[in-house]
Amino acid sequence: MRLNVPNPSLNSGTSVPVIRTENLSREFGETKAVRGLNVVVRQGELFGLVGPDGAGKTTTMRMLAGILEPTSGDAWIDGISVREDPEGIKEHIAYMPQRFGLYQDLTVLENLIFYADLFRVPKKSRAERIERLFGFSRLGPFKDRTAGALSGGMKQKLALACALIHSPRLLLLDEPTNGVDPVSRRDFWKILYDLLKQGITVLVSTAYLDEAERTTRVALMHHGSVIQLGEPQDLKNLVGGVILKLVSSDLARSRLALNDAPGVLDVNVFGNSLHIHIRDEHARKTVLEKLSAQDIEVGSLERIAPEMEDAFLSLIRRKEVS
């Protein structure tokens, strides 16, 4: 399947990035939602804004989409200022917010036709575009089903198809997999990779740190600021010390026993295990001694490579200490 992607004339022969922000900021009264964001996203990237709720991801997305005016600073989409010409950027982008406006009583096909009307897609090219969108989303067999009767994952695919009906160069996705089951999340990311092959640049925000692993580059956000930006592996390489994975008879008591132990930098729950960040291998003995003193049975204690969540927590801790 190949989508019709507009000729990137604004970038041809130039080094103009698809997105550039300069000290982009937004305040709501006393709340500083986004603080001096400086980010560059180039054509063909799958760039991630990653962080917990309240990090500033949605506010950033809304400013880049021309919906929310910055309090200070600016951003440019294909060289067009979101502050000076918010309407001018909209033909270049597709914005899929957390609550995309699907019409529940309309069928899948009727929703696509509605958004084709909204984006003024020429009637002569609609049928071909819709068929191609059905091809990548696999929604063709459900074209006569109402949107309200679709599963959560299928609704997200339909929302994405509607957003792509006008063949944008830049796709802004605000937490598109939030609340979606793991299988649908995986399928959704496969679709994003297919879009990258067609030359579409994707900026995606997510609170799922494991999804950061799937991006080309990632900006980790916390309290409105980017605390680190880079390729996923480079960010994980920033984690100093040693990460141990502990499986024990009582995770809650294990965590209490290890908090503030000498050489232990941090302890966090990861599913049915703990990730223990220690200063060096010498602290492993301290960990075992602390657990033994509390009569906690150790199922396994192994050194592992840092995950993105380990990197995020480590970088937050450094920022708070500095």
Strand ordering across the sheet containing 201-206: 93-96, 170-174, 201-206, 46-50, 217-222, 225-230
- In order of start, what are the domains of the chain with their CATH numbers? 19-235 (3.40.50.300), 240-305 (3.30.70.100)
Residue 12 pLDDT class (50, 70, 90 cuts): very low
Residue 312 banded pLDDT, cuts 50, 70, 90: very high
Q: Which pLDDT belongs to residue 4?
A: 41
pLDDT interval class at 2 (50, 70, 90): very low
pLDDT reported for residue 321: 67
Query: How large is the average pLDDT for residues 95-104?
Result: 87
Q: Is the pLDDT of residue 229 over 80?
A: yes
pLDDT over 60 (residue 108): yes
pLDDT at 6: 39
pLDDT tens-digit profile of 44-65?
A: 999 999 999 999 999 999 999 9
- The pLDDT of residue 8 is 37
Separation between Cα atoms, residue 262 and residue 69, nearest integer Å = 48
If one compares 197 and 274, the residue with the highest pLDDT of the two is 274
Burial class (CB in 10 A: 0-12, 13-18, 19+), 199: middle
Looking at residues 187-207, what average pLDDT do you find?
91
Q: How far is CA 82 from CA 22, 25, 46, 67, 201, in A?
A: 11, 13, 21, 9, 18
Q: Has residue 13 got a pLDDT over 80?
A: no
211 pLDDT higher than 70: yes
C-alpha span between 67 and 27 (Å, rounded): 15
Residue 249 has pLDDT above 80, yes or no: yes
298 strand-pairing partners:
248
Half-sphere exposure of residue 1, counting CA atoms within 13 Å on the CB side?
19
The fraction of the chain above a pLDDT of 90, given in percent, is 72
**Cα(63)–Cα(74) distance, integer angstroms:** 9
Please name the residue ranges forming H helices in the chain: 57-64, 108-118, 123-137, 152-163, 182-197, 232-237, 251-258, 283-293, 308-321
Average pLDDT of span 77-87: 95
CB atoms within 10 A of CB 293: 9
178 Cβ partners below 8 Å, 6+ apart?
A: 98, 206, 207
pLDDT bin (cut points 50, 70, 90) of residue 3 is very low
In DSSP terms, 221 is beta-bridged to: 226
Q: Answer yes or no: is pLDDT of 302 > 60.
A: yes
SS3 197: helix
Q: Can you tell me which residue has the tokens 């962080």? A: 51
Q: Would you state the pLDDT for residue 322? A: 63
pLDDT tens digits, 164-178: 998 899 999 999 988
